[in-house]
Amino acid sequence: MAGIIASIGASIATNFACCVGRQTLSCCFSMCGARNSSASRIGYAVMFVLTSLLAYASTSDWFEDTIDKWSFGYLKLQCPHGSCYGTLSVYRICLANSTLHAILAASLYNVTSSRDWRANIQNGYWAVKTALWFGLIVLCFFIPNSIILGWAISFASVGAFLFILVQIVLLIDFAYTISEVLLEWWEATEERKFLVVLIGLTFTSFLVSLIATGLMYAWFGPAPCHMNQFFITFNLVLCVIVTLISIAPAVQEVNPKSGIAQASMVVLYATYLIATSVSSSPDQVLEDGTRCNPLVDNEGTRTTGIMLGALFTFCSLAFTTTRAAVQSNVMGGAAVGGGGEVNAPLLSSQPSAGRNMHLNDAVEAGAIRPSSLSDPDDEMDDEADGVSYSYTFFHIIFMLASYYLAELITNWEVLTLDDGTGQSEVEKGWSAVWVKVVSSWIVIVLYGWTLVAPIVLPDRDW
């Protein structure tokens, strides 16, 4: 009897594993027309969303009370405002997610086809990967606080800045892509709706940027607050300069499709970075009672900043996994070679030409059914002759996004542990402000370089 129960249990476990495996995932998304490569990317995106929700929920009072009771004081770290369970929990959850993607990035290096057995790690074994993800989260809650804080300072902050740089590159690419696509659709169909969308997007971006700049002057830039005034004014000057460059005749001559449409999106993102930097800067109360950051203690401002940052993060991940990760010559595991040709494996499991001829003869003779020649799995496998994106680069982007998520939810707080007292100091200084300010300057300078580079270096292929 025990043997029968054990057999039934094993059968149920096996079937459950299959239900969350590659075939069922592909089957579920195939109803929406998704191929294997798309289904896998959607699966990882869902996992990242769950990580984000769990990390944000860990900052709640209920979660902190639960961790306090469960850990019996082992994870307790006293901060000036109370316990630091929430901040540390965010670090632990994001560390677990980044570790998972680091493992996957290393194990999937140089996979060029779904025929590589390691491709199953990317597109299958979802039960195992989910269990590993959950296990890493649990394991990270047993890591001492000092190690977690060291990871946050040494890795999370650096990785978050790198992800911001990735966002900048993707934003510029997106600005060029969306404007060029809308122009091509308008020229091909002569339907004015595409032109209206492009003009509306450009006008709205400039309008929102202008309104945001006015509000920043009103809330964060009174007369004595010289640092905030410098940030806001310098950003405004840079935005005006790069907009004028985008419509300069010399630029239009080498790239007729460049213009204020792309500039408006870059200006909007740069202004957003400045707004988040001055709204998170340390408050300075001057002698006359003027406050340079009246919203520093506003919970609604913090929540809005997190939501906007998360929105940009998810958009960056979506664009990365559909564009940047599918570019050639990336991390040695791209889908195509330098010449644009698919890197097909040397050994193929597909029938040879001679075998196909014999199979066709057998079908004509009525020996086998025509349906026997088709493999249903091949219809969903769009990576048999070459992967459609770099698996390693894909997971590196998700790893950097996990670092950025940790800094985003904790508002770039810097915790320093005092070994003598066992307490921690929370620094909400200028480091986070300068990271965002410098990032806004980089996005403008980099976009400006894309405008003038064809003029400065005319011999290169742009």
The whole-number mean pLDDT for each consecutive block of 10 residues of the chain, a chain of 462 residues, reads 40 38 42 55 87 87 73 59 71 94 93 81 89 93 84 87 86 85 84 87 93 90 83 94 92 84 92 86 66 67 68 70 47 39 36 49 56 48 65 90 88 63 54 86 93 84 63
> Could you tell me if 200 and 405 are in contact, meaning their C-beta atoms sit under 8 angstroms apart?
no
Contacts (Cβ under 8 Å, ≥6 apart) of 169: 324, 446
Q: How far apart are CA 55 and CA 72, in angstroms?
A: 21
> Could you tell me if 107 and 118 are in contact, meaning their C-beta atoms sit under 8 angstroms apart?
yes
Burial of 397 (0-12, 13-18, 19+ CB in 10 A): buried
3-state secondary structure of 336: strand
What per-residue confidence (pLDDT) applies to 421? 47
Q: How far apart are CA 269 and CA 235, in angstroms?
A: 11
DSSP 317: H
What per-residue confidence (pLDDT) applies to 128? 92
Helix (H) or strand (E) holding 82: strand 82-83
C-alpha of 21 from chain center: 24
DSSP 153: I
